[in-house]
C-alpha cells in the first residue's frame, strides 16, 4: 500500500516533485499540494491532476481531512518558511519531513553518500542542489584519500532559479559548505553558486576541486566513476562533463588554505553536468531535477522505517 504525502510549495521544485511522485513512484501517493498563491501554476496543475490543494499554507493543510493520513511532508518553500512549517508539523507525532530548503534543522542527507545511515528521524535535510550534485564527488575522493579541502562551484541557469532559490543564496553557501565537511568528509569546505544569464539557457554545470593526501590518481578516478554510477540510479542526467584532472602539490611548494595553513598533496578537479529529466521543467533545469529526484528517493526510503 502506498504511503500518502503532501508537498508544501507549489513553485518549480514542488511541482516537479509532485509529477515525479504521481508518475514514477510505486511507494508514494500524492495527497495534497500546498501553496500560498491561489493562482499559482503548481496548484492549478495539481487540481487538474486530481490532487487535493490548499492555498493557505501549512495552516490550511492541517485543517484538511487528508492531513490525518499523510505520513511524509516534503517542504519545497524557503529556509525561513520551513522553520514555521516544521514548528507546526512536529506537533503531530508520526509525520516525517523531507526538507528541500537550506534550513538544515534535520541532518544532511545525500542519497548516494549516506542513505544507509538514515535513521527513523522526523526531519531530514536535502542540503542544496549544488550539494546534491557535488558532495558525492568530494566523498568519492575522501573514500580513498583524506580530503583536506573541498571547493565547489555550482553554475545554474538564471531561468531555473526561482524566488525561493534567490532568497536562499546566503543559506545555500553556508549549508553546502558545512555539508561538504560533514557528509563529504573534507576538513574544510567552500561553496559558490553562479546564476548564469546565458541565452539559450545552459544546463547545470558543477566544478569540484579537492586537495587530499597524495595517493594513486587511478584509485581516485575509479572511486569517482563508481560514485557517478550511484548517483545516476536516481538522477539519470548526472554525468562527468570531461575527464578528471590531477595535479600534485609538492611539499616544497604548498598552497595556503585559510583555517588549515599550508597544505600539500593531490589536487583533483572534477567537472560535472546535470541534465534535467524534463518532467515539468526544461532539461536545462538540472539543479531542480537533482533535488526532486533525491528527495523522492529519500521519501521512499523513509516509508520503510
Q: Let me know the angle formed at the C-alpha of 190 by 189 and 191, rounded to the nearest 5 degrees.
A: 130
Contacts (Cβ under 8 Å, ≥6 apart) of 217: 246, 266, 268
All 3 cell numbers of residue 295? 528527495
Backbone dihedral angles phi then psi of residue 69, each to the nearest 5 degrees: -95, -5
Can you tell me which residue has the cell 500500500?
Answer: 1
- The closest of 299, 293, 288, 297 to 129, measured between CA atoms, is 288
Residue 129 is a catalytic residue = yes
CA distance 40 to 30: 18
CA distance 191 to 134: 10
Catalytic residue among 129, 179, 231, 270: 129
- Residues recognised as catalytic: 129
Amino acid at each position: 500500500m502506498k504511503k500518502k504525502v503532501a508537498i508544501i510549495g507549489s513553485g518549480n521544485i514542488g511541482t516537479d516533485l509532485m509529477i515525479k511522485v504521481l508518475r514514477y513512484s510505486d511507494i508514494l501517493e500524492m495527497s495534497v499540494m500546498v501553496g500560498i498563491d491561489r493562482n499559482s501554476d503548481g496548484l492549478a496543475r495539481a487540481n487538474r491532476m486530481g490532487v487535493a490543494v490548499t492555498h493557505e499554507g501549512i495552516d490550511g493543510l492541517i485543517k484538511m481531512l487528508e492531513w490525518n493520513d499523510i505520513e511524509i511532508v516534503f517542504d519545497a518553500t524557503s529556509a525561513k518558511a520551513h522553520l514555521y512549517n516544521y514548528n507546526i508539523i512536529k506537533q503531530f507525532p508520526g509525520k516525517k519531513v523531507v526538507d528541500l530548503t537550506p534550513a538544515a534543522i534535520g541532518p544532511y542527507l545525500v542519497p548516494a553518500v549516506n542513505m544507509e545511515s538514515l535513521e527513523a528521524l522526523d526531519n531530514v535535510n536535502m542540503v542544496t542542489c549544488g550539494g546534491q550534485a557535488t558532495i558525492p564527488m568530494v566523498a568519492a575522493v575522501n573514500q580513498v584519500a583524506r580530503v583536506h579541502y573541498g571547493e565547489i562551484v555550482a553554475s545554474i541557469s538564471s531561468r531555473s532559479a526561482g524566488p525561493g532559490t534567490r532568497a536562499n543564496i546566503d543559506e545555500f553557501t553556508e549549508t553546502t559548505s558545512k555539508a561538504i565537511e560533514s557528509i563529504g568528509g573534507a576538513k574544510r569546505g567552500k561553496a559558490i553558486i553562479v546564476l548564469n544569464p546565458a541565452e539559450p539557457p545552459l544546463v547545470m554545470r558543477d566544478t569540484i576541486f579537492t586537495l587530499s593526501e597524495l595517493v594513486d590518481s587511478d584509485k581516485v578516478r575509479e572511486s569517482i566513476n563508481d560514485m557517478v554510477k550511484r548517483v545516476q540510479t536516481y538522477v539519470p542526467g548526472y554525468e562527468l562533463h570531461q575527464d578528471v584532472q590531477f595535479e600534485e602539490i609538492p611539499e616544497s611548494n604548498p598552497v595556503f588554505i585559510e583555517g588549515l595553513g599550508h597544505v600539500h598533496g593531490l589536487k583533483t578537479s572534477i567537472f560535472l553536468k546535470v541534465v534535467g529529466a524534463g518532467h515539468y521543467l526544461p532539461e536545462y533545469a538540472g539543479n531542480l531535477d537533482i533535488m526532486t529526484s533525491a528527495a523522492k528517493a529519500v521519501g521512499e526510503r523513509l516509508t520503510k522505517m
